[in-house]
Amino acid sequence: MEKIDLTGKVALVTGSAKDLGAAIAKALAKQGATVVVHYRTSKREAEKTYQTVKKYSKESLLVQGDVTNDDQGGLIFRKIEKTFGRLDILVNGVGNFIFKPMNQTEGSEFRDVIESNLYSVFYTTKHVLPLMRKQKNGRIINFGNVSAQHLPTRPHTTPYMIAKAGVLALTRIFAQEEAKTLRDQERQQEQ
């Protein structure tokens, strides 16, 4: 992996207690970013990731909250703004997965996959945009699925595919709306 200097940048990786999220948090810290390690319930794993991140990024922060909940998500972003005054990179790494036929999928399982993959992106993006607008800079990285844009039907992964197609749609519309907002702001400044 190419070395990118992220010194001075603050990054939040949702779901960074373990697995892919933990790997991303550690990689960002190694690149010089101040990393906010996030978890919902995996406290022990999050603390372990946080200790590794702190070796590279002393100012890093550990936060707990449910990013599928608007109020809890808001608290996380207020804490980040209060602590650092900025957030340069948001990596939406939260997203549960199940593998079972639709006719065997419980409503609670379906809801969990949709909320963890789709609602989390909606709420975190909604909360970070005002801060990034104020900074006039920022990056949001959302994880989708390579097939999401084609809306395939795949046995045993339907809720996940629905959620990831939603993530793709949300990503596109937020990008379009923000581009328009920036153009409008530039026009107003020119006048």
Q: Catalytic residue positions?
A: 160
C-beta of residue 11 within 8 angstroms of C-beta of residue 36 = yes
Closest CA to 34 of 6, 10, 13: 10
Asked if 129 and 154 count as a contact pair (C-beta separation under 8 A), the reply is no
Distance of CA 24 to the CA centre of its chain: 11
With beta carbons less than 8 A apart as the criterion, state whether 80 and 127 touch: no
Distance of CA 96 to the CA centre of its chain: 13
